[in-house]
Structure 1
Amino acid sequence: MRDGGVSVGEALVGLLEAYGVTDVFGIPGVHNVEMYRALPRSGITHVLTRHEQGAGFMADGYARASGKPGVCFTITGPGLTNIMTPMGQAYSDSVPMLVISSTLDVKNWGQGRGRLHEMRSQLNAAATVSQIAATCYSARDVQDRVAEAFSLFASARPRPVYLEIPLDVLKQPAGRGWKPRALASKPRATPDEIASAVARLSAAARPVIILGGGARRAGTAAAKIAEKTGAVIFTTIAAKGAIADDHPLLAGSLLPNPLATKVIMAADAILAVGTELSETDLWYQTFDITTGLIRVDIDPASLARPYPADLPITGDAEAVLSDIADSLPDQNKADARAGQVRELRIACADGHDDLRQTITTVLDTVRAAVPADTIIASDMTQIAYAANEVLRFSQPDCYLHPAGFGTLGYALPAAVGARVACPDRPVIAMAGDYGVQYTINELGTAAELGKPLVVLLWNNDALGQIRDDMVHKGIQPNAVTLINPDFAALAKAYNCDAIRPQTLDELSSALKTGLAAEGPVLIEVRPAIVKG
């Protein structure tokens, strides 16, 4: 407590709690300790990370798994620059993240006086990876900006919000007004827009539905639309699990496959929902969609680029799809195209090269060994690139992958965040031997949680995908091999167990052991396991 009542830093914690925040990721430092003054007497759990990058990725995984905003506390200067990579990942993948940082006293901004952690402009740096970036010059500013952040998360495309509070403001008396405000609602489609969408889909002979991350919780309505119209359903990586993988009209996450492209190009109506139809969704720089495109998105800007829609609808995916599904004639056309979907999936699988077939065998073992509700956070690695297509899920929010920004080091801290968000669900981090070393220090954070968490490490002693890309492009492979640490010994140094299965049966057993352990377990897998 400070003279005259609580400080702004203390009141901030109470305000976050009032907005429903239960967990915060971060690292206390000399410039943000005022934010920590009230934490011990609050209902908020603080997760101490080993690096601000880990804090940001944990907040990302937390948000994707729970649907709640992930919240981080960081400090001036390097605290911000360290967390900007996770902020960029969350921005590209539309993940709600609130980053609250200290900044120097206003009188010292940009003065070049050599103050600790001094930057020319924290705000301008953070703005490059934020939907909102704001400086709070007073207690009222903090209240307004926090309200703005949670209103954005509740009603618009969710992306990172960055708030910085000068050191002198953090210490000021808080005053009054620290109460949560009513939040805005998500937009809905007009009756005319719903009627137009229904007419176009009803008249189509070869409709297609593409579900993106913004529609990952709209799967029930999307399935009804598909069944009533005979539409083939594709999902982006972010929407895996929106439709149960055994649904007869679900083609799956096959958008980059040329065989899938043919189906989409032959469509006479395409309902694309909650997706930018971007390069990282399609892996085509140009995708020839010229007619019949119905786009539904909560972000009006996404409706105009890169593929203009014949019918653009601004609205929440679940609400719009539910309205369309309820308005379509009560009929079942699923059988009409189920055979085409089945043949497409078989043809895509038959086209796998030897490496993809090897990894698919490993992933099939993983899928069979773990419960259906297991959360898997993946990294940018060959096993994840295969999983993006072939790993099957029966419910949403189970597969967390850094699709848009494509950063290494995501899997382990994101899995820790999911572990915090969903303490009763199994969680796996799936990473490669190179990428895991970006954030391997967060094994310490995982160990401190004292809960089971499996790190499935795909070890080929190389930057395997880059090596293969070099070969494909006629470049002599270079700078793609490395001397790895003893991962098992490294895990044990963090008080974690380690297993090196030699056969697929041993992998299955190791996964079950790991998910039942009292703390993290690293399972190191090499490609030769398929021959073991």
Structure 2
Amino acid sequence: MTQRAELSTGEAIIDLLEAYGVDTIFGIPGVHNVEMYRALPRSGIRHVLARHEQGAGFMADGYARATGRPGVCFTITGPGLTNILTPLGQAWSDSSNVLVISSALDIGDSAQGRGRLHEMIDQRGAAASVTALAMRAYTPKDVRDGVARAFAHFASQRPRPAYLEIPLDLLKEPAGGGWEARGLPGLPAPAAGDIERAIARLNAAKAPMILLGGGALQAGGAALEIAEKLKAPIVTTTAGKGAVPANHPLCLGYVMGHDAIWRMFAESDAILCAGSELSETDFWNDRVVIERNLIRIDIDPAVISRPHMAEIAILGDAGQALAAIARGIVARPGEAKAQFDHGESDQLRVMLAKVLGVIRDALPEDTVICSDMTQIAYAANEIFPVSQPRSWIHPVGFGTLGFALPAGIGAKFGRPDTPVAVMIGDYGLQYTINELGTAAEHKLPIIVLLWNNDALGQIRDDMVRKGIQPNAVTLRNPDFQMLARAYGLRADRPDSLKALAAAIRAALSSDGPTLIEMTPRMVHG
């Protein structure tokens, strides 16, 4: 695809992104990036106008997690970049491929303290703190190379965001030639010797276990084959939910926060862990360290042996590694079922379990659910069954509020034929509530499941547990029903669990978004 020499760099980048398979860009045009928008009307790329750069970043993240393809954003100098840093931090922490392309001040007049509009001391440096690649272009060739680097990274390394900034004067320069998509590398294959060692260790094990993270979402078939041959239980991280069907008799799901699971790890003589950082936010305890019997598969050499001791460290793609291991495992006779006692539930968990049971029964099995940092989602991480990969999307590592709504919008743009629901709390919704307008504008039939307890419930409960008198944890909420309708959404506030099921069924057949407001009172209706 040879570009005409008179195309500007700002125009040529649109054709280049399209050549790499980009079909959607989330962003907001501004005085400093309009040159990036000049060629959009004649391209095949759809642009989604967010209400805030934070929303655009979360949309790109939701798109990436739901589809497995990179999510792309356009933003502007200064505040555009600082507004999108939170979504970039979430994408970096949760291993999500997001590309942010931003304008920057002129090559010869940036960071000089001359009072330029949107001036920052080090815009690229700010982006570098939450990205795997942070690049600044000085020539058209730098732009071409920067985009190529980003997509090569996405294709072959641990998923993490990339950033490219293009100075204002460069955006208007003639692009020249060479704006073709380049061949991309594949995921690295594991070493055969490491695979053989893992097979021998697993075949000899008396109490093997399997642990799947987000890096193994597409490797569930091989993981199940290993589990069924070994009669080994499967545990997942939150990011790994859906790698294997939740109803499989060997799947325990996400239960890593329980003492009983830590004891199972300690008693296992072979723990096969694939695609997980095994971080504090997986265990919700920074003191859990697996010190022996760990076979670890990961694409990231920086984490493969920390903080846990990997006796067999396999660097490479989890899918290829698990498939190779599966071929060498000797099947054991008999049937097996994983057993785990969740222990007694408190009143809150019992109530939330009733609500989540109704939601699960009412939603189609393939529904993509984007959840937020809220009590109902914390419970759902453990007890809400998911049977397909990329259908449970939660902001685990960075843990930011307001993620779920824009992420759900991005997921729906990425998978328009799949039902999408958002699970969010009353406080978190108000971080990005303006994106209800984006959902309404595009008539996206997403379901916003709002848990309204008129409080920062988790923080209030934490204060009580720590002997702190609850303060600054109650708020005056808006009338969410009126607010949703003001944005053009259907709105419902069911007064019973039966009414909740009916409201979800009605929302599934709607031609636009619906907000369903759930309250603790509903459970007793």
Determine the structure 2 residue equivalent to 1:411.
404
The structure-2 alpha-carbon separation of the partners of 1:299 and 1:517, relative to structure 1 and needing over 3 Å to count, comes to same
Determine the structure 2 residue equivalent to 1:376.
369
Determine the structure 1 residue equivalent to 2:463.
470
Determine the structure 1 residue equivalent to 2:357.
364
Q: Which runs of 4+ in 1 moved over 6 A?
A: none
The structure-2 alpha-carbon separation of the partners of 1:149 and 1:474, relative to structure 1 and needing over 3 Å to count, comes to same
Kept in 1, the 8 Å contact 2:449–2:516? The answer is yes
**Alpha-carbon shift at residue 332 of structure 1 (Å):** 4.2
Determine the structure 2 residue equivalent to 1:504.
497
Counterparts of 2:335 and 2:262, CA distance in 1: 22
Question: Which one-letter code corresponds to 2:335 in the other structure?
Answer: D
**Alpha-carbon shift at residue 390 of structure 1 (Å):** 0.4
The structure-2 alpha-carbon separation of the partners of 1:116 and 1:201, relative to structure 1 and needing over 3 Å to count, comes to same
Q: Deviations over 1:448-504 (max 9, x none)?
A: 111211100000000000000000000000000000000000000101110000111
Kept in 2, the 8 Å contact 1:451–1:517? The answer is no
Counterparts of 2:332 and 2:493, CA distance in 1: 49
Question: Which one-letter code corresponds to 1:463 in the other structure?
Answer: L
Question: Which one-letter code corresponds to 2:472 in the other structure?
Answer: A
Determine the structure 2 residue equivalent to 1:60.
61
Which shows bigger deviation, 287-296 or 156-165?
287-296
**Alpha-carbon shift at residue 4 of structure 1 (Å):** 5.5
The question of 1:397 aligning with 2:398 is answered: no
Counterparts of 2:4 and 2:270, CA distance in 1: 66
Counterparts of 2:5 and 2:97, CA distance in 1: 35
Kept in 2, the 8 Å contact 1:249–1:334? The answer is no
Counterparts of 2:153 and 2:59, CA distance in 1: 21
SS at match of 2:434: helix
Determine the structure 2 residue equivalent to 1:517.
510
Kept in 1, the 8 Å contact 2:66–2:390? The answer is yes
**Alpha-carbon shift at residue 333 of structure 1 (Å):** 5.1
Kept in 1, the 8 Å contact 2:507–2:513? The answer is yes
Counterparts of 1:4 and 1:452, CA distance in 2: 43
**Alpha-carbon shift at residue 308 of structure 1 (Å):** 2.3
Counterparts of 1:43 and 1:487, CA distance in 2: 37
Question: Which one-letter code corresponds to 1:167 in the other structure?
Answer: L
Kept in 2, the 8 Å contact 1:229–1:334? The answer is no
Show the 5 A alignment for 1:32-111: 32-111=33-112
Determine the structure 1 residue equivalent to 2:218.
217
**For the aligned residues, what is the CA RMSD?**
1.1
Counterparts of 2:137 and 2:84, CA distance in 1: 19
Which shows bigger deviation, 297-306 or 481-490?
297-306
Q: Percent identity?
A: 59
**Alpha-carbon shift at residue 216 of structure 1 (Å):** 1.1
**Alpha-carbon shift at residue 288 of structure 1 (Å):** 3.7
Counterparts of 1:488 and 1:530, CA distance in 2: 19
Question: Which one-letter code corresponds to 2:94 in the other structure?
Answer: D
Counterparts of 1:245 and 1:409, CA distance in 2: 27
Q: Deviations over 1:273-321 (max 9, x none)?
A: 1111100011121224221111100111111211121000011011100
Kept in 2, the 8 Å contact 1:87–1:130? The answer is yes
Counterparts of 2:441 and 2:289, CA distance in 1: 50
Determine the structure 2 residue equivalent to 1:123.
124
The question of 1:527 aligning with 2:502 is answered: no
Kept in 2, the 8 Å contact 1:74–1:99? The answer is yes
Counterparts of 1:77 and 1:333, CA distance in 2: 63
The question of 1:335 aligning with 2:328 is answered: no
Q: Gaps spanning 5+ residues in structure 1: where? A: none
Kept in 1, the 8 Å contact 2:4–2:176? The answer is no
The structure-2 alpha-carbon separation of the partners of 1:525 and 1:333, relative to structure 1 and needing over 3 Å to count, comes to farther
Counterparts of 1:122 and 1:128, CA distance in 2: 11
Count how many residue pairs are aligned between Structure 1 and Structure 2. Answer: 523
SS at match of 1:57: helix
Question: Which one-letter code corresponds to 2:279 in the other structure?
Answer: S
**Alpha-carbon shift at residue 246 of structure 1 (Å):** 1.0
**Alpha-carbon shift at residue 3 of structure 1 (Å):** 10
Question: Which one-letter code corresponds to 1:486 in the other structure?
Answer: D
The structure-2 alpha-carbon separation of the partners of 1:232 and 1:334, relative to structure 1 and needing over 3 Å to count, comes to farther
Determine the structure 1 residue equivalent to 2:260.
259
Question: Which one-letter code corresponds to 1:354 in the other structure?
Answer: Q
Counterparts of 2:8 and 2:523, CA distance in 1: 60
Question: Which one-letter code corresponds to 2:147 in the other structure?
Answer: V
The structure-2 alpha-carbon separation of the partners of 1:4 and 1:273, relative to structure 1 and needing over 3 Å to count, comes to closer
Counterparts of 2:486 and 2:522, CA distance in 1: 25
Determine the structure 2 residue equivalent to 1:154.
155
Counterparts of 1:460 and 1:188, CA distance in 2: 48
Kept in 2, the 8 Å contact 1:13–1:35? The answer is yes
Counterparts of 2:289 and 2:68, CA distance in 1: 33
Kept in 1, the 8 Å contact 2:368–2:411? The answer is yes
The structure-2 alpha-carbon separation of the partners of 1:110 and 1:398, relative to structure 1 and needing over 3 Å to count, comes to same
Question: Which one-letter code corresponds to 2:126 in the other structure?
Answer: A
SS at match of 2:411: helix
Kept in 2, the 8 Å contact 1:271–1:293? The answer is yes
Question: Which one-letter code corresponds to 1:162 in the other structure?
Answer: Y
Kept in 2, the 8 Å contact 1:104–1:167? The answer is yes
The question of 1:245 aligning with 2:238 is answered: no
Kept in 1, the 8 Å contact 2:371–2:423? The answer is yes
Counterparts of 1:152 and 1:288, CA distance in 2: 30
Counterparts of 2:23 and 2:140, CA distance in 1: 22
Scaled by the length of structure 1, what TM-score is found? 0.97
Determine the structure 1 residue equivalent to 2:480.
487
Determine the structure 2 residue equivalent to 1:191.
192
Determine the structure 2 residue equivalent to 1:456.
449
Determine the structure 2 residue equivalent to 1:420.
413
Determine the structure 1 residue equivalent to 2:325.
324
Determine the structure 1 residue equivalent to 2:179.
178
SS at match of 2:435: helix
Counterparts of 2:463 and 2:18, CA distance in 1: 50
**Alpha-carbon shift at residue 335 of structure 1 (Å):** 2.1
Which shows bigger deviation, 184-193 or 85-94?
184-193
SS at match of 1:237: coil
Counterparts of 1:219 and 1:227, CA distance in 2: 12
Question: Which one-letter code corresponds to 2:351 in the other structure?
Answer: T
Q: Gaps spanning 5+ residues in structure 2: where? A: none
Q: Deviations over 1:82-105 (max 9, x none)?
A: 000000000000000000000000
Counterparts of 1:220 and 1:28, CA distance in 2: 43
Question: Which one-letter code corresponds to 1:181 in the other structure?
Answer: R
Which shows bigger deviation, 512-521 or 168-177?
512-521
Counterparts of 1:282 and 1:199, CA distance in 2: 28
SS at match of 2:430: helix
Counterparts of 1:450 and 1:441, CA distance in 2: 15
Kept in 1, the 8 Å contact 2:353–2:383? The answer is yes
Counterparts of 1:30 and 1:20, CA distance in 2: 27
SS at match of 1:246: coil
Counterparts of 1:288 and 1:318, CA distance in 2: 25
The structure-2 alpha-carbon separation of the partners of 1:288 and 1:100, relative to structure 1 and needing over 3 Å to count, comes to closer
Question: Which one-letter code corresponds to 1:169 in the other structure?
Answer: L
